[in-house]
Amino acid sequence: MATIDKTSKGARLGQFTQKLGALLGLIILIIVVTALNPSFIEPLNILNLLRQVAINALISFGMTFVILTGGIDLSVGSILALSSAVTANLLLSGINPIIAIVLGCLLGGVLGSINGLLITKGRMAPFIATLATMTIFRGLTLVYTKGNPITGLGNQASFQFLGRGYLLGIPVPAVTMVIVFVILWIVLHKTPFGRKTYAIGGNEKASIISGIKVDRVKIMIYSLIGMLSALAGAILTSRLNSAQPTAGQSYELDAIAAVVLGGTSLTGGRGRIVGTLIGALIIGILNNGLNLLGVSSFYQMVVKGIVIAIAVLLDRKKT
């Protein structure tokens, strides 16, 4: 039929910009920042940048799954803080650092699954459910730490390695980010689970009728982002050698921004995790580059906000 050609051409163009629009933005940003301050492109700064990006990227990967189903998770920063505090205390009690990290991640998973249960079984809107748990988890962190940072984590090499170490000259957080990215890319694009994630965001009713256990998939996804937030928290704790009760505040906004910059639709069903990686890099470069250029942190916020608005405006235009 004649009309098919036209729309599929439009769809192809859409897919093209969805794939490459963010990448193009990233390249332009790198060129601009380098032109303004050539020291940006030096290996040392790039490695530093990757380490900075890792924490936001890990959370953003999880956020991609959440947003693909049409949901949102505002509680990531609070999960990060609570699991970090617990991990730090476990370390203080002399437990093996690896076990402490794993337990911290599991706690993150449990906290995430609470979100999932509220949203599926409790039929709450994701925004409201995670707004509530954001407050609850932050409050619990403050109660648990009595509002004080947990410091003096000692000199356990295996724990310090997570946030401060290098593997073949590359910062360990960056390596972790890449490994997690590859795994999640495979999950999203090559497994039934990934296909279901897209299907739920595309049409939840049709997914239920196609026999997809929508509730279960959603709970698993909120659990996943919880674990990733906890992992990011462990990296942060290792880097700072302390767990702060106020850690991770407004991290949810950076994560959502990275996902949106990467071209994932907030209504669900459409988007790519590669885009999120690029989106996280863009935000990281903005932070890093603007620092290098000596822009005050107040103006940095203005610039970041403008970039996000422009990216979404361009995204609107194409559809």
Measured in Å, how far apart are the chain's first and last C-alpha atoms?
Answer: 22
Residues 270-289 that bind another protein (CB under 8 A): 270
> How many CB atoms lie under 10 A from the CB of residue 275?
23
> Between 3 and 22, how does the x/- string for binding to another protein read (CB under 8 A)?
xxxxxxx-x-----------
| Least spacing, CB of residue 287 vs another protein, in Å | 34
Among residues 94 and 211, whose Cβ is nearest to another protein? 211
Nearest CA to 264 among 190, 255, 151, 76?
A: 255
**Residue among 186, 293, 301, 306 that touches another protein (CB under 8 A):** 186
Closest CB 6 distance from another protein, rounded Å: 5
Nearer to another protein, 51 or 196 (CB): 196
Q: Mark the segment that binds another protein (CB under 8 A) among 103-111, 200-208, 243-251, 308-316.
A: 200-208
Residue pair 183/62 in contact (Cβ under 8 Å)? The answer is no
220 binds another protein per the rule CB under 8 A: no
Select the span of 43-51, 75-83, 196-204, 289-297 touching another protein (CB under 8 A).
196-204
Residue 170 interacting with another protein (CB under 8 A): no
Q: Please tell me the distance from the alpha carbon of residue 27 to that of residue 282, in angstroms, as a whole number.
A: 9
Window of 32-40, 139-147, 202-210, 274-282 that interacts with another protein by CB under 8 A: 202-210
Q: Considering the complex, state which of residue 158 and residue 210 has its C-beta at the smaller distance from another protein.
A: 210
- Cα-only R_g, the chain: 20
Least Cβ distance, residue 227 to another protein (angstroms): 19
319 binds another protein (CB under 8 A): no
- Please, is 173 exposed, middle or buried when counting C-beta atoms within 10 Å of its C-beta (0-12, 13-18, 19+)? buried
Structure tokens given for 169: 């000259």
Tell the smallest beta-carbon distance from residue 200 to another protein (Å).
Answer: 9
Pick between residue 8 and residue 158 the one whose CB is nearest to another protein.
8
Stretch that binds another protein, among 1-9, 63-71, 162-170, 304-312 (CB under 8 A): 1-9
Neighbour count for residue 24 (Cβ, 10 Å): 12
What backbone torsions phi and psi does residue 167 show, to the nearest 5 degrees?
Answer: -125, 115
The stretch near another protein (CB under 8 A) out of 93-101, 132-140, 190-198, 284-292 is: 190-198
Q: Shortest approach of another protein to residue 22 CB, angstroms?
A: 19
Based on the shown chain and the rule CB under 8 A, indicate whether residue 94 belongs to the binding site for another protein: no
Q: Which is nearer to another protein, 125 or 157 (CB)?
A: 125
Q: Where do contacts with another protein occur on this chain (CB under 8 A)?
A: 1-9, 11, 186, 190-192, 195-196, 198-199, 202-203, 205-213, 269-270
